[in-house]
């Protein structure tokens, strides 16, 4: 198989090299890596999603043809993204200016990403406290705050900050055993150890560390057996006076299905929150990323990105890379409409984020001449129950919140929200008036969200 993968793809490349202008070939084809070739399917991999969409839009038919011509077979092509991909060619050729290498997770023996340091972490009001706590924990592990519990939304820097602690400790104590793992990987490893009768090895590995960092502990919610194991790991490390750092998408007390004894342990040390950064911090983060990636980007453009993308730094960084890739690979400038097009998916996601459930409840209540307290309250007369179901449906379709989160906002359980969404969805097919009401409500909700965000 390996041999076939190489020859089929190499021959296709050879063909493309002969048919395409040299610079186009180097820019767009030489960077592709072939992962696997099967009977009628080939998996090709590129280093970021900009390459993926550009290749899909512009070069996929050519690649397909080249494969067909050289192998005599028709292939379905799957074009995947692997951010860790380092194409040797790209690295050699574009060292220092490439958009690719910077995204790779450069593993040190501690399995940490060495780009995630305190130096590369921009401090602002939204993360000042968490940052200070992380520095203190890194400087005196197990003595400052133990455990350190960092929580916050997706893409706000939890993993970065946690690994910065690990990298710092590793640089000071190169011999210390520093262990970073995601809670999911930890769980999988536990299950494997259990199956292979290797629990004592598993326990030894995790209970003899200097610093244990467990990322995304919200993954433990509802997993009783794992919580039990984690409880003992926690106690062993704590009693050994070693540092524990954890991250989660919400405070321990709000993780449903987490045993009270774990909740209380998670709160023993210091609990800090990473909040959404303000515009100045977002601009500073973009500048820092430009510096790291050796990108020269117009300041106005940076400001535009920071202004439009506010809820998630990973998304902001993704947009920067997309824009930088576009400029460097096409040699074209970007005007406002091109920019909107290039970032359309990201901007849509942001819009969804900007819409709050509160806004929906308020808008629906106003429309039906009710109070918000009626919408979220326990009463069930029909004139309230139906608008309430509409608000639940709109919360699900107009935001990126999950059923449980919406359930919390309406003081109902998850199943009630699922039921409401099904009701409204089914009824709209036969009810023109309902469709009109929904359209009107959607329009008002978007309008209110923009007004609240200062965009109107
Ligand atoms: P989380 O774990 O909270 O989902 P990450 O730590 O993975 O988020 O951060 C997402 C991206 O944003 C990473 O590339 C990280 O380097 C970057 N990032 C987040 N916060 C900051 C910050 N304060 N300064 C610089 N980069 C940041
Ligand atoms: Mg993370």
> pLDDT tens-digit profile of 371-414?
999 999 888 888 999 999 999 999 998 887 888 889 999 999 98
Q: Give, in words, the CATH class of 2-86.
A: alpha beta
Q: What percent of the chain has pLDDT over 90?
A: 56
CA of 312 from ligand 1 middle (Å) equals: 9
Residue intervals in the chain for CATH 1.10.1750.10: 357-452
Rounded distance from Cα 143 to ligand 1 centre (Å): 26
pLDDT score recorded for residue 336: 81
pLDDT at 305: 93
> Of 120, 125, 155, 214, which is best to mutate to test ligand 1, by the most ligand atoms within 8 angstroms of its C-beta?
155
Mutate to test the pocket of ligand 1, among 214, 313, 346 (most ligand atoms within 8 A of CB): 313
Q: Which residue has the higher pLDDT, 108 or 349?
A: 349
Would you say how long the chain is, in residues? 456
* Confidence (pTM): 0.69
- Give the residue-averaged pLDDT of 414-424: 92
User: What is the tens place of the pLDDT at every residue in 167-213?
Assistant: 999 999 888 899 999 999 999 999 999 999 999 999 999 998 999 99
**Mean pLDDT of the chain, nearest integer:** 87
Say which residue, 152 or 456, is predicted with more confidence: 152
Task: Give the pLDDT score at 100.
Answer: 39
- Ligand 1 pocket, CB under 6 A: 120-122, 127, 152, 154-160, 285, 288, 313-314, 317
Report the pLDDT averaged over residues 129-152: 95
Point out the ligand nearest to the CA of residue 157.
Answer: 1
Once rounded to an integer, what is the mean pLDDT over residues 303-329? 89
Q: What angle do CA 310, 312, 316 make, to 5 degrees?
A: 75
**Whole-angstrom Cα distance, residue 319 to residue 301?**
11
**Interval 144-169 mean pLDDT:** 95
Q: Determine the pLDDT at residue 1.
A: 52
215 Cα: distance to centroid of ligand 2 (angstroms): 7
State mean pLDDT over 304-329: 89
Calculate mean pLDDT across residues 205-229.
Answer: 93
- The pLDDT value given to residue 351: 78
User: What pLDDT is stored for residue 333 in this prediction?
Assistant: 80
What confidence score (pLDDT) does residue 7 get? 86
CATH number of 357-452: 1.10.1750.10
Phi first, then psi, for residue 209 (nearest 5°) are -105, 160
Higher-confidence residue of 295 and 392: namely 392
CATH 3.40.50.300 given to domain 93-274: yes
Q: Is the pLDDT of residue 158 over 90?
A: yes
Q: Would you state the pLDDT for residue 98?
A: 41
Tell me the residues surrounding ligand 2 (ion) with CB < 5 Å: 158-159
Query: Does the pLDDT of residue 271 top 90, yes or no?
Result: yes
123 Cα nearest atom in ligand 1? 23
Question: Which tens digits make up the pLDDT trace of 57-113?
Answer: 888 988 999 999 888 888 999 998 886 664 344 444 444 334 433 344 443 456 888
Task: Name the residue with higher pLDDT: 135 or 449.
Answer: 135
| Residue limits of CATH 1.10.8.60 in the chain | 279-352
Q: What pLDDT, on a 0 to 100 scale, did the predictor assign at position 84?
A: 67
- Answer whether residue 128 shows pLDDT above 90: yes
Q: May I ask the CATH architecture of the domain 279-352?
A: Orthogonal Bundle (1.10)
Ligand 1 center to 314 CA (angstroms): 6
Q: What is the mean pLDDT of residues 239-245?
A: 95
Q: Is the per-residue pLDDT at 42 higher than 70? A: yes
Give pLDDT, residue 90.
40
The boundaries of every CATH 3.40.50.300 domain in the chain are 93-274
- What is the percent of the chain with per-residue pLDDT over 70, rounded to a whole number? 92
Q: Cα–Cα distance between 155 and 165 in angstroms, integer?
A: 18
Interatomic CA distance for residues 394 and 11, integer angstroms = 52
Q: What is the mean pLDDT of residues 310-315?
A: 90
Per-residue pLDDT, averaged over 420-431, amounts to 91
């Amino acid at each position: 198989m390996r041999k076939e993968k190489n020859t089929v793809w190499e021959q296709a490349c050879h063909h493309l090299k002969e048919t395409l202008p040299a610079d186009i070939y180097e820019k767009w084809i030489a960077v592709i890596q072939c992962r696997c070739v099967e009977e009628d399917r080939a998996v090709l991999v590129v280093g970021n999603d900009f390459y993926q969409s550009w290749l899909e839009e512009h070069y996929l038919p050519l690649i397909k043809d080249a494969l067909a011509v050289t192998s005599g077979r028709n292939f379905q092509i799957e074009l995947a993204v692997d951010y860790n991909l380092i194409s040797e060619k790209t690295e050699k050729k574009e060292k220092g200016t490439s958009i690719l290498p910077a995204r790779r997770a450069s593993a040190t023996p501690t399995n940490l990403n060495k780009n995630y340091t305190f130096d590369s972490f921009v401090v602002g009001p939204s993360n000042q406290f968490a940052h200070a706590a992380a520095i203190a924990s890194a400087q005196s592990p197990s003595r400052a705050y133990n455990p350190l519990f960092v929580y916050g939304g997706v893409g706000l820097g939890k993993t970065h900050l946690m690994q910065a602690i690990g990298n710092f400790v590793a640089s000071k104590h190169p011999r210390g055993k520093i262990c970073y793992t995601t809670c999911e990987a930890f769980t999988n490893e536990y299950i494997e150890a259990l199956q292979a009768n290797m629990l004592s090895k598993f326990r030894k590995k995790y209970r003899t560390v200097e610093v244990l960092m467990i990322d995304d502990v919200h993954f433990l919610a509802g997993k009783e057996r794992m919580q039990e194991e984690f409880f003992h790991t926690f106690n062993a490390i704590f009693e050994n006076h070693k540092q524990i750092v954890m991250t989660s998408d919400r405070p321990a007390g709000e993780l449903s299905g987490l045993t009270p004894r774990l909740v209380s342990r998670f709160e023993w040390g210091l609990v800090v929150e990473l909040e959404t950064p303000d515009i100045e911090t977002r601009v500073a983060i973009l500048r820092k990323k430009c510096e790291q990636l050796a990108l020269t980007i117009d300041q106005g453009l940076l400001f535009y990105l920071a202004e439009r993308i506010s809820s998630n730094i990973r998304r902001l960084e993704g947009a920067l890379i997309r824009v930088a890739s576009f400029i460097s690979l096409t040699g074209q400038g970007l005007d406002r409409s091109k920019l909107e097009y290039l970032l359309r998916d990201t901007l849509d996601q942001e819009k969804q984020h900007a819409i709050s459930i509160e806004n929906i409840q308020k808008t629906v209540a106003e429309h039906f001449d009710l109070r918000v307290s009626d919408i979220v309250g326990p009463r069930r007369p029909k004139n309230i129950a139906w608008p309430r179901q509409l608000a639940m449906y709109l919360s699900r379709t107009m935001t990126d919140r999950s059923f449980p989160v919406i359930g919390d906002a309406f003081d109902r359980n998850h199943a009630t929200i699922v039921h409401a969404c099904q009701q409204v969805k089914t009824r709209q097919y036969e009810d023109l008036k309902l469709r009109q009401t929904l359209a009107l409500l959607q329009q008002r909700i978007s309008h209110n969200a923009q007004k609240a965000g200062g965009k109107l």
